[in-house]
Amino acid sequence: MEQYAIKGGNPLVGDVEIGGAKNAALPILAASAMTDETVYIENMPDVRDTKVLLDAMQSIGVMIKSTGRHSVILNAGNINSLTVDSEGIKKIRASYYLLGALLGKYKHAEVALPGGCDIGCRAIDQHIKGFRALGADVSIRHGLIRATAERLTGSHIYMDVVSVGATINVMMAAAMAEGMTIIENAAKEPHVVDLANFLNSMGANIKGAGTDVIRIKGVSRLHGTEYTIIPDQIEAGTFMFAAAVTKGDVTVKNVIPKHLESITAKLREIGCEVEEADDCIRVVASKPLRHTQVKTLPYPGFPTDMQPQITVALAMSRGTSIVTESIFENRFKYVDELTRMGANIKVEGNTAIIDGVEKYTGASISAPDLRAGAALVIAALAAEGDTIMDAIKYIERGYEDFHVKLQGLGAQIEVVQTEKDFQKFKLKTG
């Protein structure tokens, strides 16, 4: 079993190149199945979730050709099944994007119920409500969601909660429905906008993505396109917080600073210097970090996917901080692991009350999910001594070459397989 061996104590220093956004790539890949023509995608992150989705698409007859580590060509002209039930697909959340994409184009789809990170109840009622409003019949049977319609017709849909997944799914299905669909209370995340831009580049007619109200005028066919995925906001934010926690000086390159505003604001509030340029951001942490309060919110609020990373920073800051998680109800599971490293955090419901400590100490820990796993790595990089971390497969779901990029910033981190490897790592790193 692969583990990370980490020796803490080195400030991270240098430049790191940020890859394409996982949460934009997933719906964009699914939406590529909405045309019979060829689609070229650039800046694809090479992470496990995108691989699983590509495998699932291949299993229903989508032709997929990789033309480099970060570029792929897809052609869905010869799809031979509208049922997606491969073993891997059950493990990822984004499986349900094939539902919206296939329903939009073929008016029928059956997809295994989605999995994904265990961060709380992840309802799909808004997806179902949206598909039904467009005229689809939706049922769940034998672990599959089935959506089918003779024809899809545009509708006025009010989302009861702001949901990235439901906004994206309904947008895809509505792109090929007859007439106008209006989604109210839509999610505004950069990846929602990226998908709308991608669909528009295929001939869709979507306006308002990035605001609360998205208007979609259905078209009867979509054509091939060439498209470059936006940079990953959360990967960038993770490295920015890694700089803060390790008292380092890191420049994240190939980013869109606008997408990182809530993260930049919090870093400044806790005492970091943040310099923005056109497509890069430098974070310097030369002073002790200060406490603050933060509540996760849909974009443009502070992202839930950055909640563990900011908690790791605040737990090593002066004073008492409060972190409120308002999106997922079970996203503090990593606090037990952080406590092993010396953090002083009390979780009450969806709130963490954090009394900052001077330092972390290395420990034997486990990554409970993708973002929490990355956050614990950051804690280990700042800790005194060695850490061994299990379940790093979660981190590989969404971070490409995480440990390699960290090594490039001076981190002492390696993938090890056995206790003997860990002992060797300890000897080597002193």
Q: Which of residues 186-205 bind ligand EPZ (CB under 6 A)?
A: 187
385-414 footprint of ligand EPZ as x/- string (CB under 6 A): -------------x----------------
DSSP designation for 206: E
Using an 8 Å Cβ cutoff, are 429 and 7 in contact? Answer: yes
Q: Draw the binding track, 331-370, toward ligand EPZ (x: CB under 6 A; -: no contact).
A: ---------------------------------------x
Binding status of residue 304 toward ligand EPZ by CB under 6 A: yes
**d(Cα 226, Cα 333) in Å, to the nearest integer?**
40
Count of residues that bind ligand EPZ according to CB under 6 A: 25
52 contacts ligand EPZ (rule: CB under 6 A): no
End-to-end CA, the chain: 24
- In the complex with ligand EPZ, the residue whose CB is nearer, 100 or 165, is 165
Cβ of residue 267: shortest distance to ligand EPZ, in angstroms? 20
54 binds ligand EPZ (CB under 6 A): no
394 versus 425: smaller Cβ distance to ligand EPZ: 394
CA distance 185 to 175: 18
Interaction between residue 15 and ligand EPZ (CB under 6 A): no
Per-residue mark of binding to ligand EPZ, 90-129 (x: CB under 6 A) = ---xx----------------------x---xxxxxxx--
Q: How far is CA 62 from the centre of its chain?
A: 24
Nearer to ligand EPZ, 138 or 383 (CB): 138
**Phi, psi angle pair for 403, to nearest 5°:** -70, -30
Strand order in the sheet with 13-17: 13-17, 249-253, 280-284, 273-276
Smaller CB separation from ligand EPZ, 89 or 383 = 89
**DSSP single-letter state for residue 186:** -
CA neighbor of 240 nearest in space, from 229, 227, 226, 253: 253
Residue nearest to ligand EPZ (CB): 165
Region of 71-79, 158-166, 264-272, 412-420 interacting with ligand EPZ (CB under 6 A): 158-166
Judged by CB, which is closer to ligand EPZ: 149, or 327? Answer: 327
Tell me the C-alpha to C-alpha distance, in Å, between residue 118 and each of 115, 154, 187: 8, 34, 21
Active site residue 121: no
Cβ-based neighbours of 203, under 8 Å, separated by 6 or more: 219, 221, 222, 223
Contact by Cβ (8 Å): 196, 155: no
Contact 113, 140 (CB under 8 A): yes
- The answer, yes or no, to whether the previous bond of 45 is cis (omega within 30 of 0) is no
* Closest approach of ligand EPZ to the CB of residue 116, in Å: 6
H or E element that contains 364: strand 364-366
What's the closest the beta carbon of residue 236 comes to ligand EPZ, in angstroms? Answer: 13
Our finding on whether 161 is near ligand EPZ (CB under 6 A) is yes
User: 249 or 305: whose CB is closer to ligand EPZ?
Assistant: 305
> Which residues of this protein are in contact with ligand EPZ, per CB under 6 A?
23, 26, 93-94, 117, 121-127, 161, 163-166, 187, 304-305, 327-328, 370-371, 398
Residues belonging to the active site: 117
